[in-house]
Amino acid sequence: MTAQALAPAERKVAQRRIALTGNHAVALAVKMCRPEVIAAYPITPQTPVVEKLAEYVNNGELDAEYIPVESEHSAMSAAIGASAAGARTFTETSSQGLLYMYENLPIAAALRLPIVMGIASRAISAPINVWGDYSDVMSMRELGWIIYIAQSAQEAFDTVIQAYRVAEDSRVHLPAVVAYDGFWTSHVLQPLDVPEDEEEVIRFAPITRTWVKLDVDNPAQLGAVGTPEWYWEVRWQAVEALRGSLKVIEEADREYGRRFGRSYGFFSTYRTEDAEMVIVTYGSVYGLAKKAVDRLRGEGVRAGALRLRVIRPWPGDQLRKALEGVDRVMVIDRAINHGAYLQGPMAVEVAATVQRPVYSALATIGMRAIDSDMIYEAALKVWKGLWAPNQTYTIGLRGGYE
């Protein structure tokens, strides 16, 4: 399932065009979803999100309890407590803030609480780096959360709304992350189509309150001790729910497309129909990859590009079909999988999916800038056999293995 835009005649919801940064687009989407509890601690580069949400609450534009907690650990603790009480909740973080939350992240998943969290992605320390890569997001892959990676302010806006619908679906009941590039998306002003009538968002993503929650009239306990006799079975329910959420994610995305005219799929593809080589990446550098593909095509190389959008649950069957028959798959990762055979985390996933060697490259680490020419040159090395499969190369690292 690839990205698509419906024809104007099919768009049923009236919309207006404005300009917002990625962070403010996320805040607006959250406001339209009407969370009842927001618990957050500021950290660069996501701070404008929670500042704007605090402004909405202060101005009476959003009827929510805003909790200015003393740390990210407390933010997730408060979100867990609020969600366990049946409230629609939101939080946002980046980098070390996410790592400070870490103890509580698997708890939210195992308790099956539909918390939605935004991440303006940022490199992790040390050295201290406030700029964007996906080191923080990739650390969450094994914790049981649904993970989206958006390319633009528009997609981040739309995906937050979809995330609430998916997370609170009775077939899912899991927390969800919407990640996007720190600075390159979070702070860049972009055009944004938003519904004229905010009620349309709630019609699409109504608060269900169908998940297991605390009720003073029907006392129960959440988070009991998991003895060896029961722990595995309880955790396995979350495993099955995450696996089954693929269907719900697809349904929600298609329904959103029918109502709002934008649908994104599990991933996007560009000129892959007859491609012999495909560049796989995620986030905002997809635009650079497409530009490199056009240049390669102009030189007779049948190249294509693919952008990952949903990385948990992993859409393996769909991705395998999309890359079927492609001779060379090159994965550009934006985080380091330290000590692994392939040092790009998504390269490992893609290689396991296609069950053949892939070409792995690391780029934008610590937000090191790259351009389409650099991606083109790397792809050309793959095409000419100058790079070997199942090894990790670098794009833009001084003195690196290129």
pLDDT digits over 37-91, tens only? Answer: 999 999 999 999 999 999 999 999 999 999 999 999 999 999 999 999 999 999 9
Q: Is the pTM of this model over 0.85?
A: yes
Please state the rounded mean pLDDT for residues 219-247. Answer: 93
Q: Give me the chain's average pLDDT, please.
A: 95
- What are the tens digits of pLDDT across the range 361-374? 999 999 999 999 99
Q: Is the pLDDT of residue 224 over 70?
A: yes
Q: Is the pLDDT of residue 398 over 70?
A: yes
* Residue partners of 243: CB distance under 8 A and separation at least 6: 313
Q: pLDDT value at position 387? A: 96
Q: pLDDT value at position 2? A: 46
Q: Is the pLDDT of residue 223 over 90?
A: no
Q: pLDDT value at position 399? A: 86
pLDDT class of 401 with cuts at 50, 70, 90 = low
- Give the Cβ contact number of residue 120 at 10 Å: 30
Q: pLDDT value at position 402? A: 61
Distance CA 68, CA 402 (A): 46
Q: Is the pLDDT of residue 8 over 60?
A: no
pLDDT class of 11 with cuts at 50, 70, 90 = low
Helices (H), 220-270: 231-260
The percentage of the chain sitting over the pLDDT mark of 70, rounded to a whole number, equals: 97
Please state the rounded mean pLDDT for residues 289-307. Answer: 98
The DSSP-derived string for 69-132 is: -SSHHHHHHHHHHHHHTT--EEEEE-HHHHHHHGGGHHHHHHTT---EEEEEE-PPSSS---S-
DSSP 343: S
Q: Is the pLDDT of residue 199 over 70?
A: yes
Q: Which residue has the tokens 């050309």?
A: 380
Q: Is the pLDDT of residue 9 over 50?
A: no
Q: pLDDT value at position 325? A: 92
- What are the tens digits of pLDDT across the range 126-165? 999 999 999 999 999 999 999 999 999 999 999 999 999 9
- Give the distance between the most distant pair of CA atoms in the chain: 70
- The H-or-E segment that residue 28 falls in is helix 22-33
Q: pLDDT value at position 12? A: 85
Q: Do 351 and 399 meet the contact criterion of CB atoms below 8 Å apart?
A: no
Poorest-confidence range of 27-41, 192-206, 386-400? 386-400
Distance CA 332, CA 350 (A): 11
Q: Is the pLDDT of residue 28 over 80?
A: yes
Q: Is the pLDDT of residue 216 over 90?
A: no
